[in-house]
A and B are shown apart, each in its own frame.
Chain A
């Protein structure tokens, strides 16, 4: 072993040829607040990774005639005015590969959980989105395990579905539940934290670890204490990590938590680089910032391996205002949105999905047949219930049919409510909705729905295990299986 090693070293040293290294250089003329201005540096290119004399790195994102505006990827205290900067000739990249599963990295691929990441393959963080011919229509479901989402706003593999809502409305929990539900479903999950508190990110990692979800997950984190440049790069790096798996035919889910903070980091960076501020002081290319990221979510054609990358971007609104600048931008880019409402959240509806304002533009096509059969009328029922509930607040005398509708709506709302990380399989969701559709819960008080649903599912597993397994396998049920489920429930 020792002989092998010394022979290897000898061979390496003998074959090493001493050559002068020639590269372009520039000089730091100004530095501060996470950005630097460099003069000189001929031949620089946009997005090029630059190395400062101290070993720190930066990225050239503002090219000018006589120099470049550089965002710093390390702390600025090690960079001095007058120090030299060299171009590395490569753009910012991130290590990719199976070795990342279970790991926590920063946007430039440095391990945040201990052991160094070693990889032979690096992907640039900024890559063009797959072109038109490389794509196919979204045709497979990406189930979240939440009955309200999977029945009313279904998400398909390769779709971009925005999760939007005020602070403390369960956005991250919903995204985490979607990740937890992928256990055993051959899906790679990437959680990208942008500008969040380190303690929040740590608690997310702990949840993933304790649920056994880290085995198929990667966390890319740029916390609030990181430089705006790192926060700006984080979603692109997470997407690049996902693309590696997608290009190998795998299904990938990427959660961007959240793009509001991403936009704020980019605004800070742009203002420091003295770019012209536009609406709400965001720079002019703020739309392109998110559109080029989310366009990288795709459902690849069979000739490209058939992999998918589903994106769940999160946007935090202020005071429920979804028509603010960044929310409307991202709403228009994505294929639908799940709107979480504070009022519903405080009334105990979890997830607090506002079904009226939530929509999935492509997911319905990917919804399993079984779910489609039992959920087709839910949205209308809920809408009628909400409308009727408003009138009933006036205390007017209500006729029997209205009372029945209100009761049914209340029970349905309770049925769609789920505890944190309490997820249902497809067959469980279908059985519950089938039983509800057949007036099975009509005699149950709304407050008792949860207990009744739990008892119902237990009974189903005991008596109709085969039918449930069949639904999970095929995504559909036959009239005979439907009858078997209803009969077992009635018995």
Chain B
């Protein structure tokens, strides 16, 4: 079974964690999930799976918003 690592900005409740694992399994099939905390994410979470990062962190969203404000369009 492949492994997926879930990095959350803060300790999430077991219910929330189970929900995230369920959604990951729904998308990629049976996955062995592993949980870690990374405060630098500020909020949200990221999933590391099969050489790819699925980034839903507040840090990245804020960076994207900054990029959007910097652009002249």
Binding site for B on A (CB under 8 A): 9, 12-13, 16, 18, 20-26, 40-42, 84, 86, 120
Inter-chain contact A25/B51, CB cutoff 8 Å: yes
- 17 more contacts with CB within 8 A, not counting A25-B48, A120-B72, are A9-B69, A13-B65, A20-B55, A21-B54, A21-B56, A21-B64, A22-B52, A22-B53, A22-B54, A23-B52, A23-B53, A23-B55, A24-B52, A25-B51, A40-B51, A42-B52, A86-B53
Inter-chain contact A21/B69, CB cutoff 8 Å: no
What's the nearest-Cβ distance from chain B to residue A267, in Å? 33
With A21-B60, A25-B48, A120-B72 already in contact, the answer to whether A84 and B65 are too (CB < 8 A) is no
Return the contact of B52 from the options A9, A13, A18, A25 (Cβ within 8 A).
A25
What's the nearest-Cβ distance from chain B to residue A5, in Å? 11
What's the nearest-Cβ distance from chain A to residue B60, in Å? 5
What's the nearest-Cβ distance from chain A to residue B69, in Å? 6
Inter-chain contact B52/A16, CB cutoff 8 Å: no
Return the contact of B68 from the options A12, A23, A42, A120 (Cβ within 8 A).
A12
What's the nearest-Cβ distance from chain A to residue B14, in Å? 23
The CA of A24 and the CA of B48, in the complex, are separated in Å by 9
Chain A residue contacts of B64, Cβ below 8 A = 16, 21
Main secondary structure, interface of B, reads mixed
Chain B residue contacts of A18, Cβ below 8 A = 61
What's the nearest-Cβ distance from chain A to residue B19, in Å? 16
Chain B residue contacts of A42, Cβ below 8 A = 51-52
Chain A residue contacts of B48, Cβ below 8 A = 25, 84
B37-61 interface code vs A (CB 8 A; 1 in, 0 out)? 0000000000010011111100011
Residue of A nearest to B63 (CB): A21
Chain A residue contacts of B68, Cβ below 8 A = 12, 16
Of the candidates B52, B56, B65, the one having the most CB atoms from chain A within 10 angstroms of its own CB is: B52
Chain A residue contacts of B69, Cβ below 8 A = 9, 12
Inter-chain contact B55/A24, CB cutoff 8 Å: no
Inter-chain contact B56/A20, CB cutoff 8 Å: yes
The CA of A121 and the CA of B48, in the complex, are separated in Å by 34
What's the nearest-Cβ distance from chain A to residue B16, in Å? 17
Residue of B nearest to A41 (CB): B51
The CA of A24 and the CA of B54, in the complex, are separated in Å by 9
Chain B residue contacts of A22, Cβ below 8 A = 52-55
Return the contact of A16 from the options B53, B60, B65 (Cβ within 8 A).
B65
Chain B residue contacts of A41, Cβ below 8 A = 51
Chain B residue contacts of A40, Cβ below 8 A = 51
The CA of A22 and the CA of B27, in the complex, are separated in Å by 14
Chain A residue contacts of B55, Cβ below 8 A = 20-23
Residue of A nearest to B56 (CB): A20
Inter-chain contact A84/B53, CB cutoff 8 Å: yes
The CA of A178 and the CA of B65, in the complex, are separated in Å by 47
5 contacts between A and B (CB under 8 A): A13-B65, A16-B64, A23-B52, A42-B52, A120-B72
The CA of A21 and the CA of B51, in the complex, are separated in Å by 14
Residue of A nearest to B50 (CB): A42
Chain A residue contacts of B56, Cβ below 8 A = 20-21
Chain B residue contacts of A16, Cβ below 8 A = 64-65, 68
The CA of A23 and the CA of B56, in the complex, are separated in Å by 12
The CA of A20 and the CA of B55, in the complex, are separated in Å by 5
The CA of A55 and the CA of B20, in the complex, are separated in Å by 28
The CA of A23 and the CA of B48, in the complex, are separated in Å by 10
Chain A residue contacts of B51, Cβ below 8 A = 24-26, 40-42
Q: Which 6 A-B pairs have the closest CB atoms?
A: A21-B55, A42-B51, A20-B56, A25-B53, A40-B51, A21-B60
The CA of A212 and the CA of B48, in the complex, are separated in Å by 55
Residue of B nearest to A120 (CB): B72
The CA of A120 and the CA of B52, in the complex, are separated in Å by 30
B11-48 interface code vs A (CB 8 A; 1 in, 0 out)? 00000000000000000000000000000000000001
Chain B residue contacts of A9, Cβ below 8 A = 69
What's the nearest-Cβ distance from chain B to residue A95, in Å? 14
What's the nearest-Cβ distance from chain A to residue B8, in Å? 14
Residue of B nearest to A21 (CB): B55
The CA of A129 and the CA of B4, in the complex, are separated in Å by 45
The CA of A12 and the CA of B55, in the complex, are separated in Å by 22
What's the nearest-Cβ distance from chain A to residue B13, in Å? 21
What's the nearest-Cβ distance from chain B to residue A384, in Å? 66
The CA of A120 and the CA of B73, in the complex, are separated in Å by 11
Chain A residue contacts of B72, Cβ below 8 A = 120
